[in-house]
Structure 1
Amino acid sequence: MTDAVVHDIDEGIDLHAPRVRASFRLTSERHLLDGLRDELAIDGALSWQKGDPDASRGQQRRMHGWSLTLPDAPSYSADTALSELLLALAPKREEIVHAIRSMELDARVCIEVTMTAGHPPALHCTPATIAAIASYGAAVSVVFE
């Protein structure tokens, strides 16, 4: 394929594909998780406390939390976004699993999909992605907007 054809295909995907965003969230009713930001030192990670405003939902947070959310990207596969998220977490996997177990945290992988032109992404995950999510003991949520 020529560069012009590949460029046109990429533009078509960008315009018509749903936007997929993946995040990894740890929550607790008992423990403040602000220390995880410094302890794990993952670029882009955020933490909040119970009662803080949640701008995305227009209400207050119900639990203390820590999360890493990757920017949304056009994709027809949720596995692509999940794989990128898991790669970002991988260098700190042992520390994250230790925090989950020692503080009895709830772990959740979230996939948020913004629909465009009625084309949903495939909610397909490879066995490697499923195993990686399971290694954190994480639940999975999918939200369509």
Structure 2
Amino acid sequence: MASSMLDIDADLALRTPLVSASFRLTSERHVLDHLVREFNIEGGQCWQKGDADEDDGMARRAYGWSVALPPQRTYSVDTAINALLLRLAPERDAIIQLIRLMELDAHVCLEVKVAPGNLPVLHAAPATIAAMAAYHAACSVDLREL
């Protein structure tokens, strides 16, 4: 009986959606390399206009900087968004000021990988939405099968 419960738990764990969250700043005019050093946020990276996008190999249309969290298994994207916002929190005011000064585009990006028939809850609490809104960030969700 105990081993069958372990099998059920393992099966449920594998069916739980895998959520990746990232925050991106992009600009068609400004190189953003300096943000990696300036903000020194774990997971921060930058790219240049014309670099190949890792996901699809297409040339990037803008300069960019992003902070990405490792994928986590969760049924709620709110959990992933909150973890991302907590990572950004120490630099929140500086990021918001930079967005305004340089007229940068901000994006909260979620990639949700799901087992067939196991959709996640695409819900964000009002406080989470307000926190994203402080960055003037668009939010996109990419759903894919595992």
Q: Tell me the TM-score normalised to structure 1 length.
A: 0.91
Q: Deviations over 1:21-79 (max 9, x none)?
A: 11100000000000011111101111000001112111111100000111111111000
TM-superposed deviation, 1:127: 1.1
Tell me the distance in 2 between the aligned counterparts of 1:69 and 1:23.
4
Tell me the distance in 2 between the aligned counterparts of 1:58 and 1:48.
13
Say whether the 8 Å CA contact 2:15–2:114 is kept in structure 1: no
Match of 2:34 in 1: 35
TM-superposed deviation, 1:102: 0.6
1:2-21 aligned at under 5 Å gives the runs 11-21=10-20
Residues 122/102 of structure 1: CA separation in 2 closer, same or farther (3 Å cut): same
Tell me the distance in 2 between the aligned counterparts of 1:36 and 1:18.
31
TM-superposed deviation, 1:117: 2.8
1:1-145 aligned at under 5 Å gives the runs 11-145=10-144
Q: Which amino acid aligns with 1:125?
A: A
TM-superposed deviation, 1:134: 0.5
Residues 18/102 of structure 1: CA separation in 2 closer, same or farther (3 Å cut): same
Q: Which amino acid aligns with 1:59?
A: M
The count of aligned residue pairs is 141
Tell me the distance in 2 between the aligned counterparts of 1:8 and 1:76.
20
Tell me the distance in 2 between the aligned counterparts of 1:10 and 1:36.
42
What SS does structure 1 have at the residue aligned with 2:38? helix
Say whether the 8 Å CA contact 1:13–1:75 is kept in structure 2: no
The answer for unaligned runs of 5 or more in structure 1 is: 1-6
TM-superposed deviation, 1:141: 0.5
Say whether the 8 Å CA contact 1:24–1:109 is kept in structure 2: yes
Match of 1:3 in 2: none
Residues 10/107 of structure 1: CA separation in 2 closer, same or farther (3 Å cut): farther
Q: Which shows bigger deviation, 35-44 or 10-19?
A: 10-19
Tell me the distance in 1 between the aligned counterparts of 2:96 and 2:12.
36
